[in-house]
Structure 1
Amino acid sequence: MKQNALIISFFLLFLWPIEPTPSHTFNSIFSFGDSYADTGNLFILGSQNRIPGPVVSDNPPYGMTFFHHPTGRFSDGRLILDFIAQAFDLPFLPPYLAHNGSFQHGMNFAVAGATGLDYSFFVKKDLRSPSVENTTLNVQLGWFLELKPSLCTSFESCRKFFHKSLFIVGEFGINDFSVAILGGKTLAEVKSYIIPSLVKVMSKAIERIISEGAWTIVVPGNVPYGCLPVILSLYQSKNEIDYDPHTGCLRKYNELSLYQNKLMHKAINQLRLKYQHVRLINAEYYCPISEFIKYPKHFGFIDKPLRVCCGVGGQYNFNIRQGCGMPGVHLCQNPSTYLNWDGVHLTEAAARYITRGWLRGPYADPPILTAINN
C-alpha cells in the first residue's frame, strides 16, 4: 500500500512543473548554508588563498549538466537553491564574496565546509578545523547585516523589502558532525552537546533574521548522514546489524540526523508560537533522500542508489583520496540516473525532485507555495 502511494507521489512530482503561478512571487532570496547551497563562495576563498588546498568544484566535470562548465557548485548542475530561484523567476544567486553586480534580487552567503556552530565553540571542545573559522552561520549572518544598508536605509524600508524576500537557513549539520567525529568525539558526544548547541545557534540566527523583517523562512533539516557514500566508506562495518536493511545506510550515523531534525522541528514550532506573523517552513532532506534510496527505480535512479556518479573504486564508487574533479576519476554515463554526485552531494536530478517537494509538498511543512498563499 505504501509503495503504491509512493508511485502515485512520484508521478505527481514528475508531472507538476517547478514553476509556480505568476501570483506567487518574491523579489529576492537570501541563502545561508554549506556546500549544498554554495554557488561559488568557497572557490573565491580558494582563489584568494584563504583556505588550504585546491577547490575541486572548480574542475570538470562539475557543472557539466546545466552550466556546461564548473561554477563552484558541488554538483553536476543546478542546486535546490537554483531551482527555487528559477521557480520565482529570479536570477541565480551570486556568491557574496564575488562583491559585484546588483544585490537587489538577493545574495548567497553559503560556503562549502561551513558549520552552524562557531569556531570558538570547537576550540573550547579542543576541536579545530581550518574550514570553519571564517564561514560559520554567524559569520554568514554578519555578511548579511553588512550588506543590508545597500538594500534599504530605514527599518520601515527594510521591513517592506524583506517581507517580499525568501530566506533559506540551512542545511547545517553535516560539517558540524564531521569536525567532531574526525576530531575523535564519539557519536554519543555529538548527540549530547553538538546537536543541541547547533539547534540553539540556528534558532538564534532565525530570530535575528526575523528581527530584520524577514517574513518567509525555509529551514532545511539535515540529510541522512549515514547514507552519504563518504561516511559509508570511512566507517564500514562487518556487523550486518549496523546497516538499515531497507536502505543499506549506517543506522547510528543516521540517528544523529534524525535527532537533529527532531530538535530543530521542535524549535521551529516554538518560534512559530512566538512569531505568529512569520511563515516558518520546515523543509526535508532526510525523507526524500531515504525514499530515493528505498525506491530508486520509481525516481529514475539506478538500482544501486548509494553508488557515486563521479568517483572511483570500492562498493560505492568512492575513494576519499581520489575524489571527483581529480585525475583518473571516472564519470558515469548519465548523471540524471544517479542520486549522489561525488560522495557527499546530490545530482541535479535529485535536487530537482526535492525542490518540487519543497514547493508543493510532501517534503516541506508547510509547502512553500501553500505558505505564501495563506
Structure 2
Amino acid sequence: MTSSSTIPKRAFGKLGPELPRLGFGLMNASGTYNLPGTDAERLALLDHAYSKGQVFWDTADKYGDSEEILGKWFAANPEKRKDIFLATKFGIQALPDGRFTMNSTPEYCRECIGKSLKRLGLPYVDLYYIHRLDKVTPVERTVQSLVALKNEGKIKYLGISECSAESLRRAHAVHPITALQIEYSLFCRDIESPKIRLLQTARELGVAVVCYSPLGNGFLTGRFRTIEDVSGPGDSRKVLPWFSKENLNNNLVVLDKIAEMAKTKGATSAQLSLAWLLAQGDDIFPIPGTSKPHRLDENLASASVSVSPKENETLRKIASEVTGERFQTKTGYAFTDTPKWE
C-alpha cells in the first residue's frame, strides 16, 4: 500500500483509531447516480483507493450489491483486511413492493449484521451504524443490541446516522458512540444550527462527525447544470430540491461563484468544497464517493487545499444564497427522535 501520508489523519472520536480525514463513500459505486460498473471496474476502483491510502471505507446494506463487491475484494486480498477501516449500516428495510421503511429494532439489527457479514465474507466490521432510527424503537434498545454484537466480536465501534441531538445523547449514555454520520456540506449546514445543536452535542461527547454527501450529491462539483444532466438511467438526483425548476437558476449562480473562488486557488469546485469541510475541525471526516479513479484522485487532492478563516466566511456567505431544502427533510427522517425508554 502506498503511504497515506498525503491524507492527514486524526483521531476518530475519543475512542476510535487514527483515520484518514477523507473516507471513501461506496454508495454510488453500486449505482445510485448511474448504472453500476462491472465487477472488474469496481474491484479496480477499490484497488486504486487502497493504493492511494484511502482506507476508510463506508458502505451500507442498502447500497445495492456494495457489500458483495467488497466481499469479493476481501476474498482476493485477505492480507489487506487489517489496513481497512470498514463501516456498514442497517436500519433501512426494503419492502416487497419496492418501497422502503425504517426498522431499528434489536431483532432487525441482529438479522442485518448476520447478512452483512455473510456478504462481506468477514467475521466483523470496524464500525456499525444505525442508518436510520424508526421513530418507534427507543434508541437505547437499539444501542443495547449493538453492544451485544460488540461483545460477540462482530463489530468494534458504534455509530448512528441522521439522529437528533437528544437521540445522540441518549445513545451515548448507553454506550459511547464513536461516530455520527450526517449530511454536511457548504450547501447543507443544518447540524451547525443552535436550534438543532447536533454538531455542538457531538463535540461535547467526543463523537467524530462523518459527512455524507459532502459534495451535495455531486452538485457542488459544478458538473451538473441542467435537470437533463441528472436524468440518466439509474440517476436518483433529479428529485433533489436544488435541481428543481424554481431553484436551479439561482443555484447555478452560487455554483459559479464557488468555481471562481476555486480557480483563484488552482483548485476545482469539488476540491474547494471538501477543503472547506476539512477546515471546520479535526473531528470532521468527509466521505466523498465516486465510481471513477480520476475523481477519487481529485477528491484526495483537496487535502492540500487551504481555506483561511476569511475564505471560510466568504464561502459561507456565498453558499447561504442557495435555495432548496435538503432532500432528507422531505423523507421525514432527518434528525430523528425516538420514544422515551420506559
TM-score of the two chains, using structure 2 as the length reference:
0.38
Pick 1 or 2: higher relative contact order, CA cutoff 8 A, min separation 6. Answer: 2
Greater fraction strand: 2
TM-score of the two chains, using structure 1 as the length reference:
0.36
